Amino acid sequence: MTIPNMITIMRMLLVPAVVLAMLQARWDWAFAGFLVAGLSDGVDGFIARRYQLSSRLGAYLDPMADKLLLVSVFVVMGFAGELPLWLVVTMVSRDGLIICAVLLSSVMAHPVEMKPLFVSKANTAVQIALAALVLGELAFSVHLDPLRPALILLSGVLTVASAAAYLVAWLRHMSGYGEGSQNSSSTTGT
């Protein structure tokens, strides 16, 4: 158990506190918790790289912690009417489909190595910016109207693009093209 992994686990444990603050309309606490989680994500990554403390467990825990926080915040914001439900459903569906694809490929003894794509990193960055913006607006009673709709639209587009990119990569992997292997007819000469 490395220090970065302990920080990541603490970030995961912070998620219920952020959600509870949101459910109680304590937007200032929710915003602060979200910021602490974001800072801890940067700190654990820096420590892992700087002191060569990266681990296989951390490679799984870190994105799980990020997704747990983002999905939880988006779902609560959707039900609070702060984000459109279509965006929340799109985000949750994309993540659910990715999880199902990874599980299916593992069950079929053809596990897929998850590598974040550029579009996925851009999508996550926009989702973080959107969640921080909405929590900040609610915490400080300000309205940044032109920015919120733009981030909502951009997040929706990137979520769909990311889902499509992962689907294509997964289909290639499952058909054998993703590994550079040849199919059985070409290896037998038929």
Is 186 part of any domain? no
Q: Which of 96, 72, 75 is nearest to 14 (CA)?
A: 72
Is 123 part of any domain? yes
Query: Is 174's pLDDT higher than 60?
Result: yes
Is 23 part of any domain? yes
Helix and strand totals (H; E) in the chain: 7, 0
Is 100 part of any domain? yes
Is 187 part of any domain? no
Is 190 part of any domain? no
The model carries a pTM of 0.88
User: For residue 183, what pLDDT is reported?
Assistant: 44
User: For residue 139, what pLDDT is reported?
Assistant: 97
CATH of the domain at 165: 1.20.120.1760
Is 188 part of any domain? no
Question: Residue 102: CB partners within 8 Å, gap ≥ 6?
Answer: 111, 112, 114
Is 74 part of any domain? yes
Strands (E), 14-144: none
In the chain, the number of structural domains is 1
User: For residue 189, what pLDDT is reported?
Assistant: 39
Q: Mind listing the pLDDT tens digit for each residue in 31-76?
A: 999 999 999 999 999 999 999 999 989 988 999 999 999 999 999 9
Its domain, for residue 137, covers 3-177
